[in-house]
Amino acid sequence: MTHPKSANVLDARYLEPPEPFVKTMEMLATLKAGESMLLLLFREPHPLYRILLQDGYRYRTEMLDDGTFEILISR
Amino acid sequence: MQALLSFEQAPPLNAPLRFFLTAPLFGVIAGLLLLLEGEGVLLSRWSPSALALTHLLTLGFMLQIMIGALIQVLPVVAGANLKHPRFLAQLVHATLSLGALLLAAGFVFAINPALHAGAALLVFSVGFFLLSAIRALHGVPSSSPTIRGIKLALFGLFGTVLLGVFLLVALRQGTTFSLVALTELHAGWGLGAWSAVLLAAVAYVVVPMFQLTPGYPARPAWWFSIGMTGLLVLWSLAVWLDVDLLIRLAKGLLALSGMAFCALTLRLQSRRRRAKSDATSRYWKLGMISTFLALSMMLTAAISPALGGLEAWSFCFAVLLIAGGIFSFMIGMLYKIVPFLAWLHLQYLGKGQVTAPTMNKLLPDSAMQRQFYAHQCGIVLLFLAAVFPEWGARLAGLGLMLSLLWLEFNLLAVVRRYRNFASEIAGSLVPG
Model confidence pLDDT, tens digit, residues A1-33: 678 888 899 999 999 888 898 899 999 999 998
Q: Look at B217 and A50 and tell me if their CB atoms are within 8 Å.
A: no
- pLDDT confidence of residue B3: 40
Q: Look at A49 and B79 and tell me if their CB atoms are within 8 Å.
A: yes
Does the pLDDT of residue B117 top 90, yes or no?
yes
- pLDDT confidence of residue B271: 93
Name the minimum distance, in Å, from the CA of B225 to any CA of chain A: 16
Helix B218-241 vs helix B179-188: angle between axes, to the nearest 10 degrees? 170
- pLDDT confidence of residue B358: 86
**B272, closest residue in chain A (CA to CA):** A14
Residue B155's Cβ-side half-sphere holds a number of Cα atoms within 13 Å equal to: 15
Q: How confident is the model at residue B9 (pLDDT cuts 50, 70, 90)?
A: low
Q: Look at A47 and B75 and tell me if their CB atoms are within 8 Å.
A: yes
Q: How far is residue B336's CA from residue B183's CA, in Å, rounded to a whole number? A: 34
pLDDT tens across B260-301, in order?
999 999 999 999 987 678 899 999 999 999 999 999 999 999
Helix B197-211 vs helix B244-270: angle between axes, to the nearest 10 degrees? 10
pLDDT tens across B338-367, in order?
998 999 889 888 887 888 888 889 999 999
What is the rounded average pLDDT for all residues in chain B? 93
Rg (CA), chain B: 21
When CB atoms are compared, the residue of B205, B215, B273 closest to A68 is: B215
Residues of chain B with C-beta less than 8 angstroms from the C-beta of A14: 212, 273
CB of B217 within 8 Å of any CB in chain A?
A: yes
Q: How far is CA B206 from the centre of its chain?
A: 15
**A46, closest residue in chain B (CA to CA):** B79
When CB atoms are compared, the residue of A49, A51, A67 closest to B221 is: A67
**B77, closest residue in chain A (CA to CA):** A46
When CB atoms are compared, the residue of B78, B144, B218 closest to A65 is: B218
- pLDDT confidence of residue B7: 57
Look up residue B154 and give its amino acid: L
> In the predicted model, what is the mean pLDDT of residues B383-402?
96
Q: Flag whether the pTM goes above 0.90.
A: yes
- Sign of CA pseudo-dihedral B397, B400, B406, B412: negative
Range scoring the smallest mean pLDDT among B21-35, B118-132, B174-188, B396-410:
B174-188
Name the H helices within B217-278. 218-241, 244-270
CB of B82 within 8 Å of any CB in chain A?
A: no
Max Cα-Cα span within chain B: 73
When CB atoms are compared, the residue of B2, B77, B215 closest to A42 is: B215
Q: How far is residue B3's CA from residue B277's CA, in Å, rounded to a whole number? A: 22
CB of B162 within 8 Å of any CB in chain A?
A: no
The answer to whether the beta carbons of residues B135 and B83 sit under 8 Å apart is: yes
- pLDDT confidence of residue B5: 45
Does the pLDDT of residue B1 top 70, yes or no?
no
- Sign of CA pseudo-dihedral B254, B260, B263, B268: negative
Interface of B with A in 288-347 (CB under 8 A): none
The answer to whether the beta carbons of residues B303 and B246 sit under 8 Å apart is: no
Residues of chain A that touch chain B, judged by Cβ-Cβ distance less than 8 Å: 13-14, 16-18, 20-21, 24, 42-51, 61, 63-69
Which candidate, B230, B231, B285, places its Cα nearest to that of B263? Answer: B285
Q: How confident is the model at residue A52 (pLDDT cuts 50, 70, 90)?
A: very high
pLDDT tens across B315-334, in order?
999 999 999 999 999 999 99
Q: Look at B3 and A18 and tell me if their CB atoms are within 8 Å.
A: yes
Q: How far is residue B25's CA from residue B45's CA, in Å, rounded to a whole number? A: 23
> In the predicted model, what is the mean pLDDT of residues B93-114?
97
- pLDDT confidence of residue B224: 98
When CB atoms are compared, the residue of A16, A44, A63 closest to B212 is: A16
- Per DSSP, what are the bridge partners of residue A39? A10, A71
Pairs across A and B, CB distance < 8 A? 85
**B202, closest residue in chain A (CA to CA):** A43
Name the minimum distance, in Å, from the CA of B76 to any CA of chain A: 6
Does the pLDDT of residue B2 top 60, yes or no?
no
Q: How confident is the model at residue B4 (pLDDT cuts 50, 70, 90)?
A: very low
- pLDDT confidence of residue A10: 96
> In the predicted model, what is the mean pLDDT of residues B167-195?
94
Name the minimum distance, in Å, from the CA of B94 to any CA of chain A: 30
Q: How far is residue B132's CA from residue A64's CA, in Å, rounded to a whole number? A: 32
When CB atoms are compared, the residue of A47, A64, A69 closest to B2 is: A47
